A = this chain, B = another copy of it.
């Protein structure tokens, strides 16, 4: 396999993976492209490589910057804007985790708390509902906190956790 083919395969695969996890294909593809580019890439180049429109490129670049995983770069004496991706994978994981937690998990937790707090009139049905949603709330909260700790400490997370537990 030669370089161009490999690069294209990578971009397509990353795009498909994105779709499966609720991230739009183009957004994931742009991210993939920037990840493996050794230098900053212009919007023109992105449009050209991925065969997408200016509007599409612009909107998805904005979304990636909102996630904090793509940055704008200005080259001296050039009008045009260039883009780079966060290339440190630990840092990337931290940012993706934080955003997904903030945008999706936290609001879901809020709802779980609400619905598990109804004053049940003690039918078996209602008791089961309260019980199950309470468990779910606790579970999701625990998982969310764990992810937070893991990403906070990056590679170091296990060591710190162990230290904390042992003292």
Which A residues are within 8 Å of any B CB, using their own CB?
1-3, 6-7, 9-10, 13-14, 17, 19-22, 35-38, 87, 89, 93, 103-104, 108, 111-112, 114-115, 117-118, 120-121, 124-129, 132-133, 135-136, 139, 143, 158, 161-162, 165
Residue of B nearest to A140 (CB): B89
Q: Once the chains bind, are B3 and A136 in contact (CB under 8 Å)?
A: no
The number of times this chain is found in the oligomer is 2
Q: How far is the CB of A158 from chain B (nearest CB, A)?
A: 7
A20-B104, A161-B158 known; A111-B9 Cβ under 8 A: yes
Tell me the bound Cα distance from A158 to B1 in angstroms.
42
Of A7, A103, A117, A124, the most chain B CB neighbours within 10 A belong to A7
